[in-house]
């Protein structure tokens, strides 16, 4: 089964990516986690995301598009990145989520990936 692990980070987590005092520890923890997933052969795809201030949120109401700078929600934690992993079951996906740096500082959402049926010929 495929599961998406969505890694939330507190605002200072995004700052730590660039802070010379914290960047080695920050990326070291992520590189160790990603290396363990890679070694286990479970990564399907994944990406880190730029900080929330780079986001745009689009809505269409009554046929009119509106665009808001920034993320949809003003929250203490924002989506920092994701991986889609292939593992036997939800319990295994939860175990991997618990090993991530985000689980120590914020939260990791684990959600099954919808497997679409191939289009009919």
Provide the whole-model pTM: 0.83
Kindly report, residue by residue over 13-28, the tens digit of the pLDDT: 777 877 778 788 888 9
* Residue 13 · residue 106 · CB < 8 Å: yes
Write out the two tokens for 112.
């099954």
Instruction: Quote the strand ranges of the chain, DSSP E.
Output: 2-10, 43-48, 56-61, 64-69, 77-86, 108-112
Centre a 10 Å sphere on the Cβ of residue 59 and count the other Cβ atoms it contains.
10
Residue-range domains of the chain with CATH = 2-112 (3.30.70.1060)
Kindly report, residue by residue over 63-87, the tens digit of the pLDDT: 999 988 876 666 677 888 999 999 9
pLDDT at 12 over 80: no
pLDDT at 114 over 80: yes
Q: How far apart are CA 20 and CA 39, in angstroms?
A: 28
pLDDT at 58 over 80: yes
**Beta-ladder partners of 111:** 4
Measured at the CA of 53, the angle between CA 51 and CA 55, to 5 degrees, comes to 85
**Residue 23 backbone phi and psi in degrees, to 5:** -60, -40
Write out the two tokens for 63.
């046929």
pLDDT-based confidence at residue 112 (cuts at 50, 70, 90):
very high
Kindly report, residue by residue over 45-57, the tens digit of the pLDDT: 999 998 888 888 8
99 DSSP 8-state letter: T
């Amino acid at each position: 089964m495929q599961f998406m692990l969505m890694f939330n980070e507190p605002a200072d987590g995004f700052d730590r990516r660039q802070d010379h005092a914290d960047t080695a520890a920050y990326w070291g923890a992520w590189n160790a986690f990603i290396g363990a997933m890679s070694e286990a052969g479970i990564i399907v795809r994944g990406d880190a995301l730029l900080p929330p201030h780079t986001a745009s949120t689009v809505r269409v109401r009554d046929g009119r598009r509106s665009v808001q700078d920034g993320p949809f929600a003003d929250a203490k934690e924002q989506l920092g990145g994701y991986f889609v992993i292939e593992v036997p079951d939800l319990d295994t996906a939860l175990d991997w989520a618990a090993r991530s740096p985000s689980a120590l500082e914020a939260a990791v959402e684990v959600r099954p990936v919808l497997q679409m049926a191939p289009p009919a010929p």
